[in-house]
């Protein structure tokens, strides 16, 4: 059974802990390592790996400390180059080539963000569960079957963004950047419609913008659309 703990989820920092009861992993390390240790009751020695989607600090802030703690960190070579840390625990993996960490089989895939080589990850375990993790991408061009746990960014909704631009609280230039780098509620819904989610058990909506989102509404609308529990950490 997959257990998910969100340690942080916003543009200030992202970090999630997932375990299938046998192998535990970190998804991102965008907060201080001390904070990660504290939030996991100092049980970090059992962490088998850390998956990093891209080089923005809110996703990899503590990578040096995580590597130094003896945890293998997996990412694209573009991300590793951008992070520019040569620690032997930093491992590069290729898109669409599976690798294993303990009981997890992990498939990295390319996503759409304004950085060099960002990834999303599909994680499958021995119990047949599948966790899809993607953040900081305005679109996902792939389709997935049998996902049981969906962890996907939902940064903003277009109507709230446009309202904020109209009243001057968000600069106009932000619109273009967001639309080509982050997931909107509209694209989130479209992704759900386009995929086989017949096995879906739960959804986590990640990385909500402070100003361009509405947590209660996002949660309600996705819950209505899918009928499964929705968590907004």
Which one of the spans 51-59, 120-128, 140-148, 218-226 is the region binding Zn ion (CB under 5 A)? 51-59
Given 20, 55, 129, 136, the residue binding Zn ion (CB under 5 A): 136
Q: With respect to Zn ion, which residue has the nearer C-beta, 10 or 103?
A: 10
φ, ψ of residue 6 in degrees (nearest 5) = -90, 120
Size of the site for Zn ion (CB under 5 A): 3
Q: Residue 209 Cβ, how far from Zn ion at the closest point, in Å? A: 10
**What is the sign of the dihedral through the CA atoms of 83, 85, 86 and 89?**
negative
Give the 3-state secondary structure of 184-232.
Answer: EHHHHHHHHHHCECCCCCEEEEECCCCCCCCHHHHHHHHHHHHCCCEEC
Q: With respect to Zn ion, which residue has the nearer C-beta, 47 or 208?
A: 208
Q: With respect to Zn ion, which residue has the nearer C-beta, 105 or 112?
A: 112
Gap between the Cα atoms of 185 and 208, Å rounded: 10
Give the 3-state secondary structure of 95-123.
Answer: CCCCEEECCEEEEEEECCCCCCCCEEEEE
Site for Zn ion contains 182 (CB under 5 A): no
Which one of the spans 32-40, 86-94, 131-139, 196-204 is the region binding Zn ion (CB under 5 A)? 131-139
Q: Residue 113 Cβ, how far from Zn ion at the closest point, in Å? A: 6
Site for Zn ion contains 61 (CB under 5 A): no
Q: Residue 8 Cβ, how far from Zn ion at the closest point, in Å? A: 11
Site for Zn ion contains 56 (CB under 5 A): yes
What is the bridge-based pairing of β-strands 104-110 and 99-101?
Answer: antiparallel
Q: With respect to Zn ion, which residue has the nearer C-beta, 89 or 207?
A: 207
Q: With respect to Zn ion, which residue has the nearer C-beta, 116 or 226?
A: 116
Q: Which residues contact 226 (CB under 8 A, 6 or more apart)?
A: 192, 197, 200, 203
Helix axes 185-194, 215-226, angle to 10 degrees: 10
Query: What residues line the site for Zn ion (CB under 5 A)?
Result: 56, 58, 136
């Amino acid at each position: 059974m997959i257990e998910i703990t969100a340690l942080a989820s916003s543009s200030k920092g992202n970090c999630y802990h997932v375990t299938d009861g046998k192998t535990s992993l970190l998804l991102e390390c965008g907060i201080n390592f001390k904070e990660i240790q504290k939030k996991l009751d100092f049980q970090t020695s059992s962490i088998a790996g850390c998956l990093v989607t891209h080089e923005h600090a809110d996703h990899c802030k503590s990578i040096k400390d995580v590597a130094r703690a003896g945890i293998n960190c997996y990412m694209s070579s573009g991300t590793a180059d951008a992070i520019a840390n040569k620690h032997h625990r930093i491992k590069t993996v290729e898109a669409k080539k599976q690798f294993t960490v303990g009981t997890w089989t992990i498939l990295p895939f390319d996503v759409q963000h304004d950085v060099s080589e960002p990834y999303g990850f599909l994680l499958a375990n021995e119990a047949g569960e599948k966790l899809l993790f993607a953040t900081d991408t305005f679109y996902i061009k792939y389709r997935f079957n049998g996902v049981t746990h969906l962890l996907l960014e939902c940064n903003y909704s277009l109507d709230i963004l446009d309202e904020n631009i109209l009243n001057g609280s968000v600069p106009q230039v932000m619109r273009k950047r967001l639309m080509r780098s982050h997931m909107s509620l509209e694209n989130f819904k479209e992704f759900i419609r386009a995929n086989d989610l017949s096995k879906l058990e739960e959804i986590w909506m990640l990385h909500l913008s402070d100003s361009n989102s509405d947590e209660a509404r996002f949660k309600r609308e996705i819950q209505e659309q899918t009928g499964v529990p929705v968590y907004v950490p």
